[in-house]
Chain A
């Protein structure tokens, strides 16, 4: 079975299908990393496409000093950071809570069980809100680990921080997210109980 390295080499030599295989390999992780970073489906689509086009144009510069995944996500990460900076300069503030991402669009397909759709909708909302409530550096490292699927050392290389800092920051990110989820659920439960009392 061909390896990722062989696809990279073939793509460098202009093999379109090999490049498409690499895109297939990474599209889900890149798209959701960008989506959860920027929290807007249209921006996520633009920046994800730009990421892959940049990968395509710069393939010959990739010499394998880092893992290919680290290289791909460093491009996605830098494009996200630039995008956020530009938005801030224009006075536009990220992020809005995204409750209309493609996970939800896919779920509108009538073949899905309505109960499962509702549950998934709640999960997407919860995780999005919790991610939106934590500090940006914690959100960033959580996404690199859990969505991009990078290893600790890859994250350390990408963010140019110590391995020990990666480990402690990921733990803090998880802990902050768990607390946010807990708060969100408590608030929803107390809202529901107030509604019942008012009736």
Chain B
């Protein structure tokens, strides 16, 4: 069952903790009897979880490279920077 178009933004804002108490209450009332929107909420939560899970590591050479360039710039005389 597809989610209701008019509730998608509320669901998305709920994931981002952006709803007022009234908006949250209206959303929960709707979710209680709308499987499509409940499924949309689960998918949005899952997307967040998947994104976090896949953005954990960063190559060490990134910071090393940046700091090596910073150090090299510091060693250059000011007129050559």
Contacts and interface: CB of A to CB of B under 8 A. Distances in A.
A8 to B, nearest CB: 15
A52 B68 CA distance: 12
B44 A28 contact: no
A186 to B, nearest CB: 14
Given A16-B74, A53-B70, A103-B54, A45 B8 contact: no
A171 B11 contact: yes
Nearest to B44: A174
A174 B47 contact: yes
Contacts, number: 105
Q: Main SS of the interface on chain B?
A: helix
Nearest to B55: A32
Q: Select the residue from B44, B65, B66 with max chain A CB neighbours within 10 A.
A: B66
Contacts of A120: 53-54
Interface stretch (A64-72, A83-91, A123-131, A188-196): A123-131
A170 B70 contact: no
Contacts of A124: 54
Contact of B53 (A36, A123, A181): A123
A146 B16 CA distance: 10
B61 A174 contact: no
Nearest to B42: A178
B53 A23 contact: no
A127 B50 contact: yes
A29 B53 CA distance: 13
B12 interface: yes
Interface residues of B, number: 35
Given A146-B48, A167-B9, A28 B63 contact: no
A28 B55 CA distance: 7
B28 to A, nearest CB: 17
Interface in A67-112: 102-103, 105-106
Interface of B: 3, 8-9, 11-13, 15-16, 18, 40, 43-44, 46-48, 50-51, 53-59, 61-63, 65-67, 69-71, 73-74
Given A24-B63, A49-B66, A178-B40, 14 more contacts: A16-B71, A27-B63, A48-B62, A49-B65, A56-B70, A102-B57, A103-B55, A167-B13, A167-B18, A170-B12, A171-B11, A174-B44, A175-B3, A182-B43
